Structures are given as structure tokens and as C-alpha cells.
Amino acid sequence: MHLETFTFHVETAAGPDIRDITGECARCAAESGVRQGVLLVTSVGSTGSVTTIEFEPGAVADFARALERLAPPGADYAHEAAWHDGNGHSHVQAALVGPSLSVPVRDGRLVLGTWQQVVLVNHDVRPRRRRVAVTVLGTAG
């Protein structure tokens, strides 16, 4: 069994800001030397998330609007009552999407659908430099 770890950073705008990180994840898979296995990608921090979507303007806008409907800014959040930082909705949105994603690796490449991209989402109320942790585990050769 072979394991490699990687870290990269993504500059984001105030959320929801959705960034395509497929290329960086594919680079990590290729550089890991893993031929058959899995790539685990995680947004480090409580107001970021990772998922897949067709990364085209319409789907991205629909996703952002859906997030704001599920946990709207300006609603009453206990987190904001405690911290007064205006990002209670950011924590809820990130928790609903989830911080990490696993993607199969076959022949050293990510297994994704034709229109499926890996995306990082900043849910916070301010721009962030998001740290992304990647682990690639499997058989090398």
C-alpha cells in the first residue's frame, strides 16, 4: 500500500464562492504514483466544503442560490449570538455540504464523469485563503 499527502491553497472571494480544483486534485493523483486507489480531498476549516458539480456558470449559480436558501445569511443563528461575526450561516452551509470528498483513482487518474468536477466552496462572509489537504492511498507501480 502506498500513501502520499499534498497541500495546496486556493484564494476565494466571500461566499458562497465555488472554485474548480479538479486540476490540482488530478495533479496530486498523478504525482502520488498511485495507480489504483482513492484520493481524499478535504477543505481545512469549518466554513469551507468540497463536493462535485458540473462546473459551468448555470449550475454554479444554481448551487450558490440553493445554499443561500438552505441556510440564508441574515437568519437567526446561535453562533452569531455568541461570536457576533456574521457567519453563522457559513458554518451551517459548510456542514450541510461536508468538508471532504473521496474520488476513485484508476490507472493514476481520477474517476469522474464527463461533466463532473471537484469544487471547493468558501461559505465565509469574507475572502479566504483556503487550505486543501489531499491524501492519495492505493497501490503504486
Other CB atoms within 10 A of residue 76 CB: 7
Q: How far apart are the C-alpha atoms of 114 and 4, rounded to whole Å?
A: 26
Domains of the chain, CATH where assigned: 2-140 (2.60.120.460)
Going by the DSSP 8-state scheme, the letter that residue 18 receives in this structure is: E
Three-class SS of 68-85: HHHCCCCCCCHHHHHHCC
pLDDT of amino acid 24 = 98
Q: Answer for the pair 120, 25: CB distance below 8 angstroms, yes or no.
A: no
pLDDT of amino acid 81 = 84
Residue 105 is which amino acid?
V
**Ranges of the chain whose pLDDT falls below 50:** none
